[in-house]
Amino acid sequence: MMKPFLLAILACTALRAAAVDSLWLLKPARVFDGEAIHQNWWVAVQDNRIVYAGSAAQFPADTYKGWVVRPMDLPGKTLLPGLIEGHAHLLLHPYNEVSWNQQVLEESRAERVIRAANHARATLRAGFTSVRDLGTEGAAYDDVGLKAAIEKGIIPGPRLLVATRAIVATGSYGPKSAAADVDYPKGAAEADGVEGLTREIRTQIGKGADLIKLYADYRWGPNGEARPTFTQAELNTAVEVAASAGRPVVVHAVTAEAMQRAARAGVNSIEHGDQGDEATFRLMKEKGVAYCPTLAATASVQQYRGWKKGLEPEPPALVNKRQSFAAALKAGVTICMGGDVGVFAHGNNALEMEMMVDYGMPAMAVLKSATSVNADVFGLSDRLGRIRPGLLADLLVVDGNPVEDISRIRAVSAVMKDGKWVK
């Protein structure tokens, strides 16, 4: 038998187009509004906006007399804001399927875009209605086209903030050939110095970048270890140039030194932070720089390399992750939810949230991280990240209570984006 809330969707969709004054009236068991959990709340949606969120007993029914009110009972379910993925690469797919080098060098741009369309749909259906996509990894500006296709309704997908090509210091990034006289196409744009960075940042903004992504360190040390790439002056320049066009700067940084340089430059967020210590995270907190830990990507790569989760001790990379995440929690730095999806499967974004809880972050804080915190850090709080009158109606319905069990975030019953049911 079809579930009542699905019958409500099917029976009322036809009315939606004809009704001038109509709204959805959602009646879940509980509402997580992006900041707190509430019992006996109703949420009303008109067109693409939330118009009421509050006590069921105080719902102003008289205001909507004569309207087409479509009630949707959601017993046992939790209503949340649409989740916001903080670190994804929609133009990549898991490295145990095809290596990163092969994707950059051997897969056609057409194939990569078609894959990205599938990834966008899977992400949306998993309840992630917004995504910060942090680099096309060799696919030029195809994220801009993907974003436009979603906005035009050509394909289903989340709202996108895109970084286009990302920026690396010359000689630091791959793919690389073993032969010094062979130069492969790179997975990001190479730029150096004030003039070079200024030109590249402005080029990317002109091509449609919503933000600028830089690699402040990479695996180019004498023994292949991660070492800083850009100098303090270069990072300062990047932030200054991007800020003049209203764009934030996001930085890949693993080493403490690169993290500290980025924090002093005033970047928006630092990604990964594997070697971050408490002093580094305190500096980030002081400077107002957020941290996106990407726990799930590290765990996935270790499994691709043969680690048997649950059967073998955690490898050093994961031990380091636990230590750096604990240091970030202790320092009180703002923590974003972002898993580096693309390293692992799109649609499995919830893995990062589960690992954040496993690594010591309370489930309520993780839910905030994936909604209101990400919205605040990414400059979306005037539209998204909370269930509040006036904000856009991006909503998620899950079975059970994810505050009690974070894995319930996977039990997706329905997804609304921009006031329309997409699942």
The secondary structure of 306-333 as a DSSP string is: T--TTTSPPPHHHHHHHHHHHHHHHHT-
Please check whether residues 15 and 68 belong to one and the same domain. Answer: yes
The string of pLDDT tens digits covering residues 107-138 is: 999 999 999 999 999 999 999 999 999 999 99
Backbone angles phi, psi at 305, to 5 degrees: -85, 5
Residue showing tokens 């992630």: 128
Nearest to 284 by CA among 297, 274, 294, 273: 273
Cα dihedral value 99, 106, 213, 95, nearest 10: -10
Number of domains in the chain: 2
What confidence tens digit (pLDDT) does each residue in 312-368 have? 999 999 999 999 999 999 999 999 999 999 999 999 999 999 999 999 999 999 999
Cβ–Cβ contacts within 10 Å for residue 76, how many?
Answer: 11
Distance from C-alpha of 196 to C-alpha of 67, rounded to nearest angstrom = 59
Query: What residues contact residue 368 under an 8 Å CB cut-off, 6+ apart?
Result: 34, 35
CA distances from 217 to 35, 171, 272, 315 (A): 34, 12, 11, 22
- Quote the mean pLDDT of the chain: 95
Do 250 and 173 lie in one domain? The reply is: yes
Same domain? For 91 and 30 the reply is no
Q: Are residues 74 and 187 in the same domain?
A: no
Distance, in Å, from the CA atom of 356 to the CA atom of 363, rounded to the nearest integer, reads 8
Q: In this predicted model, what pLDDT tens digit does every residue of 2-51 receive, in sequence order?
A: 555 554 544 444 444 444 589 999 999 999 999 999 999 999 999 999 99
Contacts of 351 (CB under 8 A, 6+ apart): 296, 299, 300, 339, 344
Considering the domain architecture, whether residues 87 and 177 belong to the same structural domain is answered as yes
Confidence of residue 1 (pLDDT cuts 50, 70, 90): very low
Number of Cβ within a 10 Å radius of residue 152? 8
Mean pLDDT across 197-221:
98
CATH assignment at residue 341? 3.20.20.140
278 pLDDT above the threshold of 70:
yes
Q: Are β-strands 249-253 and 217-219 bridged in parallel, bridged antiparallel, or unpaired?
A: unpaired
Answer with the one of 377, 395, 410 that is the final residue of a domain.
Answer: 377
| CB atoms near residue 183 (< 10 Å) | 9
Helix (H) or strand (E) holding 354: helix 350-358
Task: Calculate mean pLDDT across residues 247-253.
Answer: 98
Q: Are residues 367 and 235 in the same domain?
A: yes
Tell me which residue range forms the domain holding 416: 4-82+385-421
> Residue 98 pLDDT more than 90?
yes
Contacts of 315-324 with CB under 8 Å at 24 or more apart are 317/274, 320/274, 320/275, 321/274, 321/293, 321/295, 321/359, 322/359, 324/273, 324/274, 324/275, 324/276, 324/277, 324/293
Residue 264 CB contacts under 8 Å (≥ 6 apart), including other chains: 232, 235, 236, 283, 287
Classified as helix, coil or strand, 141 is: coil
Same domain, 277 and 351: yes
Same domain, 68 and 87: no
Q: Counting Cβ atoms within 10 Å, is residue 41 exposed (0-12), middle (13-18) or buried (19+)?
A: buried
Q: What is the CATH number of the domain that holds 23?
A: 2.30.40.10
Calculate mean pLDDT across residues 203-226: 97
Q: What is the pLDDT of residue 20?
A: 56
Q: Which residues of 224-243 are buried (b: 16+ CB within 10 A; e: fewer)?
A: eebbbbbeeebbbbbbbbbe
Place of tokens 């999806």: 341
% of residues, the chain, pLDDT over 90:
94
75 lies in the same domain as 106: no
Same domain, residue pair 139 and 154: yes
Strand partners, 272: 253
Cα dist. 325→251, 362, 376 in Å? Answer: 17, 13, 21
Pair (190, 161) in one structural domain: yes
**pLDDT tens for residues 151-174?**
999 999 999 999 999 999 999 999
Task: Name, in order, each residue with C-beta under 8 angstroms of 418's C-beta and a sequence gap of 6 or more.
Answer: 48, 392, 393, 394
What is the average per-residue pLDDT within 285-299?
A: 98
Are residues 246 and 158 part of one domain? yes
pLDDT recorded at residue 21: 84
Q: Is the model more confident about 91 or about 7?
A: 91
Which helix (H) or strand (E) segment holds residue 76: the answer is strand 68-81
